[in-house]
């Protein structure tokens, strides 16, 4: 039966897929010398950061839509600054790749994101080396290699930029978990923009000064305000849409929608940019890599469910012991027959999922839910 809630859910998913695909195609169109001809990816990224930071400032300080978190100088210096550095790097390298390789091939390379995150997490000690996940990562890598071999317009420079951006994003994700979430600091999309966007802007200023400033001084590029304004608005709305979709459906649904979005984007890119050609080897390689990504998602879902079931079994035991102790002290204390921990379990299951790689400003809405879940559990077990 079609309900209003179901229709609204699919509407949110449609907005997410549309914005996510639109931002990528829009960035490619703006940066490509064959179209709008603004070959300055660092400048475009700085425009996004300035706009996002300004909107976040207005929402927090002027309109007071949300309240800022308790951010100390030590946390900002040791956590926000390094995270912002890798975030700025991932956007810089990722946007530069648009100048050299096609959108379709970029989506193929983005299948390496789970591989990069797993490698970085193991090296940083936040994850353990498991053979099932390792073999899964090998499958993804083999698929990407096959697809790369079939790429007609293969470009080494563009590939290096994109892969470097992927590993920078993986480092940002791991650092977010290590430096922020373990300190109990949770940022929603607005507060993350408020703290990270200005810092990322400063980091981007350094390479911009040495790599793009001179080129912009001598070029005859006409600055179109509405093009850059609408582009920045789309990027900002994408950040908010992923947060709404996760809150409405869950991170698993977002991952499935992300897979659908990738196929749609690959097909659309060949229509919007006719010079982008897809070969049979491209499709076969990406299909193999996609199988690895889907299997990886399945392993994470199974791991999350196992973790939540363990939590569900252990927490009531501790609570019952406390209740029994209280019952011995006072016969007036009510000892309930059972309790529900679904909200905390849902939070735990969400903690293992990240967000769309096009929305790195959201530190981790899933991580924020995980932190809430842990607080609820500790409160119930105390």
- For 38-94, the pLDDT digits (tens) are 999 999 999 999 999 999 999 999 999 988 888 889 999 999 999 999 999 999 999
Among the ranges given (19-23, 243-247, 371-375), the one the predictor scored with the smallest mean pLDDT: 371-375
377: pLDDT strictly greater than 70: no
pLDDT of 248 reads 76
pLDDT of 335 reads 28
Model confidence pLDDT, tens digit, residues 253-291: 777 788 888 889 999 999 999 888 888 999 999 999 989
SS (H, E, C) 16-43: HHHHHHHHHHHHHHHHCCCCCCCCCHHH
98: pLDDT strictly greater than 90: yes
CB-side exposure of 231: number of CA atoms within 13 Å? 24
**Alpha carbon of 65 to those of 52, 60, 213: distances in Å?**
15, 6, 36
Judge contact between 304 and 348, C-beta under 8 A: yes
For range 330-353, the mean pLDDT = 31
For range 294-301, the mean pLDDT = 82
Residue with tokens 């793009």: 212
- CB within 8 A of 266, min separation 6: which ones? 103, 104, 107, 108, 278, 286
357: pLDDT strictly greater than 60: no
Among the ranges given (104-108, 146-150, 323-327), the one the predictor scored with the smallest mean pLDDT: 323-327
Q: Tell me which DSSP letter residue 179 carries.
A: I
Buried b (16+ CB within 10 A) or exposed e, 322-360: ebeeeeeeeeeeeeeeeeebeebbebbbbbbbbbbbbbb
28: pLDDT strictly greater than 60: yes
For range 189-211, the mean pLDDT = 94
């Amino acid at each position: 039966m079609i309900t209003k809630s179901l229709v609204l859910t699919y509407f949110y998913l449609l907005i997410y897929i549309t914005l996510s695909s639109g931002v990528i195609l829009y960035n490619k169109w703006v940066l490509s010398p064959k179209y709008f001809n603004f070959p300055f990816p660092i400048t475009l990224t700085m425009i996004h950061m300035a706009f996002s930071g300004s909107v976040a400032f207005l929402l927090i300080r002027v309109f007071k839509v949300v309240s800022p978190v308790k951010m100390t100088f030590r946390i900002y210096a040791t956590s926000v600054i390094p995270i912002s550095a890798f975030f700025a790097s991932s956007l810089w390298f990722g946007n530069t790749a648009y100048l050299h390789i096609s959108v379709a091939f970029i989506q193929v390379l983005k299948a390496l994101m789970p591989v990069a995150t797993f490698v970085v997490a193991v090296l940083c000690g936040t994850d353990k080396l498991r053979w099932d996940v390792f073999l899964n990562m090998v499958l993804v890598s083999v698929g990407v290699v096959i697809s790369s071999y079939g790429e007609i317009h293969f470009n080494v420079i563009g590939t290096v930029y994109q892969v470097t951006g992927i590993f920078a994003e993986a480092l940002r994700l791991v650092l977010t978990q290590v430096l922020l979430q373990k300190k109990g600091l949770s940022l929603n999309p607005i507060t993350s923009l408020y703290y990270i966007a200005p810092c990322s802007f400063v980091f981007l200023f350094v390479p911009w000064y040495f790599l793009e400033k001179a080129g912009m001084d001598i070029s005859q590029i006409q600055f179109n305000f509405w093009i850059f304004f609408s582009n920045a608005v789309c990027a900002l709305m994408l950040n908010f849409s992923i947060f709404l979709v996760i809150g409405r459906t869950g991170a698993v649904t977002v991952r499935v929608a992300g897979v659908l979005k990738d196929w749609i984007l690959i097909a659309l890119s060949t229509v919007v940019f006719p010079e982008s050609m897809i070969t049979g080897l491209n499709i076969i390689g990406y299909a193999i890599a996609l199988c690895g990504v889907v299997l990886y998602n399945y392993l994470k879902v199974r791991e999350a469910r196992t973790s939540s079931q363990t939590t569900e079994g252990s927490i009531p035991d501790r609570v019952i012991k406390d209740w029994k102790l209280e019952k011995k002290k006072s016969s007036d204390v009510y000892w309930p027959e059972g309790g529900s921990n679904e909200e905390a379990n849902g939070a735990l299951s969400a903690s293992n999922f990240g967000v769309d790689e096009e929305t790195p400003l959201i530190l981790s809405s899933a991580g924020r839910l995980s932190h809430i879940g842990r607080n609820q559990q500790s409160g119930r077990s105390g």
